[in-house]
Each structure stands twice: as C-alpha cells, then as structure tokens.
C-alpha cells in the first residue's frame, strides 16, 4: 500500500485560480491537500500564504508544498524566509526535477501569470515524482542551513 502524501497549497489573489486547478489535480490523484488559502481572487498579501505553506511543511503536517502568486517570485521569497525550507521557483519540468534531485526542495513555487495551467501541471508532476539524489548533494544542501 502506498503512503498518502500531503501537499500544502497556498496562493495570493494572482495565483488563486491556478491553485484551485492544482488542488483538483492533486485530489483526483489521491493526494491529501491542505488548502492554506487564499479562497478567492480578492486582493491579499502573498507573504502570509508563503509562510503558512512553509510552516506546514516544516512541521511535518505536509511532505510537500506548492505556492503560487502572479510571478512566483514574491511568494517563493516568503516561503524561503522560513529557516529549513527550500522553495524553488520553477518555470519548466527540468527545473522542477533538478530542484528535487539536487536541492531537495520541499516547496514548489509557480507564477500563474508566467506558466499556463497545462505547463504548471507538468511541472507539479515532475516535482512530486522526483526523489532527492542524496550523494554529493547532501553536503551542499546542508550548507544552505
């Protein structure tokens, strides 16, 4: 029996619609989802949602996190401000694979105004299906903390 993976999702108003698509995709594939908000496209501040997702991952309530804003930049910075969390802003599947394989990123950041839904789903699948390679990368990741 496979372990159920929990993914924390968070977005500001610019990322709300894409977050909802990602949530649908994950639940259809039997992932457990923690929706950290926002829950509408009303204007909100991205740092709150980036931090909330990062805290869920750091506490172990979620094994992975996904944060979304207009460009992905602000919310990735917000998530990375939580010590021990590695959020990677990815614009293609290769970046997502490398973020996991070489950097052991636990949080994927996406820009809703940068990538379309189809590409975002491909990036998410790559992120979730790639394991950390360990080896020479363990020492490098440890230096980040």
DSSP state of 13: G
Which of the 8 DSSP states describes residue 141?
H
What is the spatial distance between Cα 27 and Cα 32, in angstroms, rounded to a whole number?
7
In Å, how far are 80, 81, 117, 120, 139 from 134, measured between CA atoms? Answer: 21, 24, 31, 26, 9
Residue 69 is among the residues annotated as catalytic for this protein: yes
The question of whether 102 is a catalytic residue gets the answer yes
- Cα–Cα distances in angstroms (integers) from residue 68 to residues 96, 104, 115, 132, in the given order: 14, 19, 11, 23
DSSP-H helix ranges across 3-116: 16-28, 46-59, 73-80, 93-101
Which entry of 36, 56, 69, 90 is annotated as an active-site residue? 69
Strand partners, 87: 107
Residues annotated as part of the active site: 69, 102
């Amino acid at each position: 029996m496979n372990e159920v993976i929990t993914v924390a999702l968070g977005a500001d108003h610019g990322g709300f619609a894409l977050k909802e698509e990602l949530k649908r995709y994950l639940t259809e594939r039997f992932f457990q989802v923690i929706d950290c908000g926002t829950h509408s496209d009303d204007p909100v501040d991205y740092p709150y949602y980036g931090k909330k997702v990062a805290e869920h991952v750091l506490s172990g309530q979620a094994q992975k996190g996904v944060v979304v804003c207009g460009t992905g930049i602000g919310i990735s910075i917000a998530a990375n401000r939580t010590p021990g969390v590695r959020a990677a802003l990815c614009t293609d599947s290769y970046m997502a694979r490398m973020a996991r394989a070489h950097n052991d990123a636990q949080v994927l950041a996406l820009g809703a105004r940068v990538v379309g839904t189809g590409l975002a789903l491909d990036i998410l699948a790559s992120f979730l299906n790639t394991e950390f390679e360990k080896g020479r990368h363990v020492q490098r990741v440890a230096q980040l903390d």
